[in-house]
Amino acid sequence: MSASFPPDSVGLVTPQTVHFAAPLRLDSGHTLESYDLCFETYGTLNAARDNAVLICHALSGDHHAAGYHHEDDRKPGWWDNCIGPGKPLDTERFFVVCPNNLGGCGGSTGPLSVRPGSGKRYGPDFPIVTVRDWVESQARLADQLGIERWAAVMGGSLGGMQVLQWAIDFPARIRHAIVIAAAPRLSTQNIAFNEIARQAIRSDPSFHDGHYYEHDVLPEHGLKLARMVGHITYLSDDVLHSKFGRELREGKINFGFGVEFQIESYLRHQGESFVGRFDANTYLLMTRALDYFDPAQAYGGDLTQAVAGCTARFLVVSFSSDWRFSPARSREIVRALLDCDHDVSYVDIESALGHDSFLLPIPQYHQVLSTYFAGIEVAA
Amino acid sequence: MNAALLRPEHRLIADWIGQGSRVLDLGCGDGAFLAELQRSKGVTGYGIEIDPDNIVACLARGVNVIQANLDEGLTGFDPESFDYVVMTQTVQAMRFPHQLIEDILRIGREGIVTFPNMGHWRCRLQFATGRMPVTRHLPNTWYETPNIHMCTIEDFEELCRAKSFAVVERATVDSQHRAKIGMQLWPNLLAEIAIYRLRAQAR
């Protein structure tokens, strides 16, 4: 590890890739004949193999959750404030695994990948994947790594949905389920926001029905718009107001349609930086996985029935100002678990920062996670 | 954690709670009571708490804790989902104590409620001098106290009659958890803490 990294960083990390030759039958009925999963690990798997923690990423996340890829990286992984030596998820005790989801654009098989036998990228023909498909693929990764049972599976937002699915689909393989800023299914409003994002991308003239790679263009404008809409919903009205207020870039209004308010400049910046690192087809797939997630559906819409077979202990966390995945949605999960007499703790963290809170080092939040992880038993 | 460190009324309540029961502790504080019940009685259940530091303390003890504001009611629980719903020294801080007790008796087979007795002679003495009582159990001044619904044992019994709460058992003790003979004779004058075992009246 380089001396230039902070002492509580996992330091330099190198992504790994595992190829899976066994076909994966998807919820949609399609089959992926073979696929790769790209992932990172931090810490060391102990001899008893009982200290492994799976991190599930959200809509725009990937396998790079902590540490740095290069000495001169400006930013560490997306959840670096939470994962590392002495951090809430302490890599001195736990072995952390974070894969990039199928359909992603971080290295696992997705729309950017070349379709076997065709010599061309999947593009829009990559099948729609669901949270269940992801969990199934992650279970196969666990098999590959020799992890029979996760000490914990943890994730926020869409990641939290995967945790819930894990606890339902593989009760024997997960001891603790840490579900953060999630919901048992999207609200109508949430699906509506996703549809705006998709339409922004799909109506961009450069989208070419998803075949933009072949035209050597990117639907930059659409993806940027999608991100701008999304970003507003990840923050609270209060935090936007306190960050930007009605501040004007030039200190006066210009009676035009250029960037005048600071918030406009900020949103454009968010959109532009996203375009450089994210694939539009993946964005479409991820939003659909969100829309389709509804584990209660297989149980006549009864979430209590859906979680009845879970054996994991649950920690459910929400954030007071999160309106995209509001505390009330987390409480729906808690209520279903209570109905089944399952072990569950629920914490609503006071935060003005909206849905994005789950990625931020809020002291109370991190104290809750540290305390919870400290209580998870692992062999010496 | 051992039983000696529990609040006095907790030790008394623990005697009432059967082996392996399901317990909901409303305003469970740092979770010490539930942790002790888990250890000594093999109970299962949850604590409800609103204070962030207490919630962390519960997690550290391995007690299931649900963050909730009791003033918003207990609508998340099904009827008779617990053997005992315990609420110690909290009822007087609730916005609608009578509604919460009704809720307690809906979701629990039995409710165990404790509160500081405003009828105790020390409180009466302070009233007689023209001041609001400030005692060991009620240490806050009137303007910063969370205790907005103080009552005496007589007041509480009247509520039980009015709402048809059946009193299964009552214990009246002083701050050392001693139940002296005088407290049996004149509880409203001599008891500092009242402990009630309640059930919903059979209809």
pLDDT in tens, B17-72: 999 999 999 999 999 999 999 999 999 999 999 999 999 999 999 999 999 999 98
Q: Do A371 and B56 touch (CB under 8 A)?
A: yes
Looking up residue B10, the CATH number of its domain turns out to be 3.40.50.150
Whole-angstrom Cα distance, residue A200 to residue A87? 39
Q: Do A350 and B52 touch (CB under 8 A)?
A: yes
Pick from A130, A123, A109: nearest CA to A298: A130
8-state DSSP, A321: T
Distances (CA, A) of A343 to A153, A166, A313, B63, B142: 15, 16, 5, 9, 39
Could you report the per-residue pLDDT of B110-135, keeping only the tens digit for each?
Answer: 999 999 999 999 999 999 999 999 98
Asked if residue A342 lies in contact with residue A305, where contact means CB atoms within 8 angstroms, the answer is: no
Min Cα separation A92/chain B (Å): 19
Q: How far apart are the first and last CA of chain B?
A: 42
Axis-axis angle for helices A280-292, A131-145 (nearest 10): 100
- Active site (annotated) includes residue A355: yes
Instruction: Tell me the pLDDT band of B2, cut-offs 50, 70 and 90.
Output: very low
For each of chain A's 380 residues, which pLDDT tens digit applies? 445 899 999 999 999 999 999 999 999 999 999 999 999 999 999 999 999 999 999 999 999 999 999 999 999 999 999 999 999 999 999 999 999 999 999 999 999 999 998 899 999 999 999 999 999 999 999 999 999 999 999 999 999 999 999 999 999 999 999 999 999 999 999 999 999 999 999 999 999 999 999 999 999 999 999 999 999 999 999 999 999 999 999 999 999 999 999 999 999 999 999 998 999 999 999 999 999 999 999 999 999 999 999 999 999 999 999 999 999 999 999 999 999 999 999 999 999 999 999 999 999 999 999 999 999 999 98
The 3-state secondary structure of chain B, one letter per residue: CCHHHCCHHHHHHHHHCCCCCEEEEECCCCCHHHHHHHHHHCCEEEEEECCHHHHHHHHHHCCCEEECCHHHCCCCCCCCCEEEEEEECCHHHCCCHHHHHHHHHHHEEEEEEEEEECCCHHHHHHHHCCCCCCCCCCCCCCCCCCCCCCECHHHHHHHHHHHCEEEEEEEEECCCCCCCHHHHHCHHHHCCEEEEEEEECCC
Q: Which residue of A has its CA nearest to B75?
A: A335
Whole-angstrom Cα distance, residue A133 to residue A125? 17
The catalytically annotated residue of A137, A157, A318, A357 is A157
CA angle A75, A364, A322 (to 5 degrees): 75
Which tokens go with A317?
């966390």
Residue A14 backbone zone (phi > 0: left; psi -120 to 50: alpha; other: beta): beta
Pick the residue of A338, A340, A366 with the most B CBs within 10 A to test the interface with B by mutation.
A338
Which tokens go with B143?
């303007």
SS3 of A177, please? strand
pLDDT at B181: 76
Q: Which residues of B touch A (CB under 8 A)?
A: 22, 44, 46, 52, 55-56, 58-60, 62, 64-68, 76-78, 81
With beta carbons under 8 A apart, name residues in chain B contacting A303: none
Q: Which residue of A has its CA nearest to B62?
A: A375
With beta carbons under 8 A apart, name residues in chain B contacting A333: none
Domain enclosing residue B157, as ranges:
3-200
pLDDT at B1: 37
Sign, CA torsion A345/A350/A351/A354 = positive
Strand partners, A36: A19
For tokens 């670096």, the residue is A80
Q: Do B59 and A346 touch (CB under 8 A)?
A: no
Pairing between β-strand B193-200 and β-strand B165-173 as defined by DSSP bridges = antiparallel
Q: Which residues of A touch B (CB under 8 A)?
A: 315, 331, 334-335, 338-339, 341, 343-348, 350, 364, 367-368, 371-372, 374-375
8-state DSSP, A68: B
**Predicted confidence (pLDDT) at residue B175 exceeds the cutoff of 80:** no
Instruction: Tell me the pLDDT band of B201, cut-offs 50, 70 and 90.
Output: confident
Structural domains in chain B (count): 1
With beta carbons under 8 A apart, name residues in chain B contacting A351: none
For tokens 């799909």, the residue is A202
Which tokens go with B46?
């949850």
Neighbours of A317 (CB within 10 A): 26
Neighbours of B70 (CB within 10 A): 21
Whole-angstrom Cα distance, residue A199 to residue A193? 10
In this complex, the residue of B52, B62, B78 whose CB is nearest that of residue A375 is B62
Which tokens go with B88?
């110690």
**Predicted confidence (pLDDT) at residue B182 exceeds the cutoff of 80:** no
pTM of the model: 0.95
The catalytically annotated residue of A176, A322, A330, A357 is A322
Sign, CA torsion A86/A171/A286/A23 = positive
Give the number of A-B residue pairs with CB atoms closer than 8 Å.
48
How far, rounded to the nearest angstrom, does the alpha carbon of residue A37 sit from its chain's CA centroid?
15
Min Cα separation B23/chain A (Å): 11
Which tokens go with B158?
């009247």
Asked if residue B107 lies in contact with residue B24, where contact means CB atoms within 8 angstroms, the answer is: yes
Whole-angstrom Cα distance, residue A22 to residue B111? 57
**A280 φ, ψ to 5°?**
-65, -40
Min Cα separation B72/chain A (Å): 13
Could you report the per-residue pLDDT of A50-104, keeping only the tens digit for each?
Answer: 999 999 999 999 999 999 999 999 999 999 999 999 999 999 999 999 999 999 9
